Amino acid sequence: MARSRAVVVATVLAAAPVLVAGLLGWWFGEQRRAATATYRVIEVIDGDTIVVARDGRTDTVRILGVDTPETKHPTKGVECFGPEASAYTTRRLLGARVRLEDDVVHRDVYGRRLSYVYVDGRSFDDELVRRGFARFLVIQPNVRHARDLLRSELDARRHHRGLWGAC
């Protein structure tokens, strides 16, 4: 009896590292797949809000780190450079494959997904700010790319790009 118990314990102890390694491999694989998953942009709501689709499901995404002038706000109306920002986002993203990067908080109070957006391997958030289509905006506690986006806004302001020259 003691001998068979010892065999069971030895077998369990020998199998445990294999099981743990397998689970870790699966988990890291899932993390990598999530980090490299791409979505198709099927609608542009305005300069900083898009609708994406993947595997037959859609999601509205509020682009993190940026705030474009309004085009459809019920009380603010159309703001200076809003139509240009919305048109740029439409030209650049509609129909494109994008990668989404989440930060600390994944959804806003409206249920929209909060994500940084990458197109052609580059940060679209930074592109909007750098070209003057958007202001830098922090939606706390999502601050992963705040310094880079702030630098881009300061550069756009200094060179009077986009809204910084028109408004």
Among residues 30, 43, 54, 70, the one annotated as catalytic is 70
Residues 70 and 17 in one domain: no
**pLDDT band for position 136 (cuts 50, 70, 90):** very high
CATH number at residue 117: 2.40.50.90
Are 54 and 97 members of one domain? Answer: yes
What is the per-residue pLDDT for 6?
56
Residues 129 and 145 in one domain: yes
- Does 55 share its domain with 16? no
One domain for residues 27 and 46: no
Of 88 and 29, more confident:
88
Residue 5, pLDDT score? 61
How many CB atoms lie under 10 A from the CB of residue 126? 22
Domain containing residue 8: 1-36
135 is catalytic: no
Beta-carbon contacts of residue 89 (< 8 Å; ≥ 6 apart): 44, 46, 47, 48, 50, 68, 128, 133
Calpha distance 165→33 (Å, rounded): 41
- The Cβ of residue 58 has, within 10 Å, a number of other Cβ atoms equal to 13
Query: Does 12 share its domain with 54?
Result: no
Residue keyed to tokens 């919305």: 86
Q: What are 120's strand-pairing partners?
A: none
Note whether 48 and 96 are same-domain residues: yes
Could you confirm whether 70 is annotated as catalytic?
yes
The reply to whether 69 and 138 lie within a common domain is yes
Same-domain check for residues 52 and 3: no
How would you classify the pairing of strands 135-136 and 66-67?
A: antiparallel
pLDDT digits (tens, 9 = 90+) for 34-87: 457 999 999 999 999 999 999 999 999 999 999 999 998 888 889 999 999 999
Shared-domain flag, residues 7 and 86: no
Catalytic residue among 62, 92, 113, 161: 62
Residue among 48, 52, 120, 56 nearest 86 (CA): 48
Residue 141 has pLDDT above 70, yes or no: yes
Residue 1 has pLDDT above 70, yes or no: no
Same structural domain, 93 and 154: yes
Kindly report the pTM of this predicted structure: 0.78
Domains in the chain, number: 2
Regarding whether 1 and 44 lie in a shared domain, the answer is no
127 tagged catalytic: no
* Residue 99 pLDDT > 60: yes
Range of weakest confidence among 6-10, 95-99, 119-123, 131-135: 6-10
Mean pLDDT, rounded, for 110-122: 97
Give the active site residue among 92, 112, 130, 135.
112
The pLDDT score that the predictor gives to residue 142 is: 96
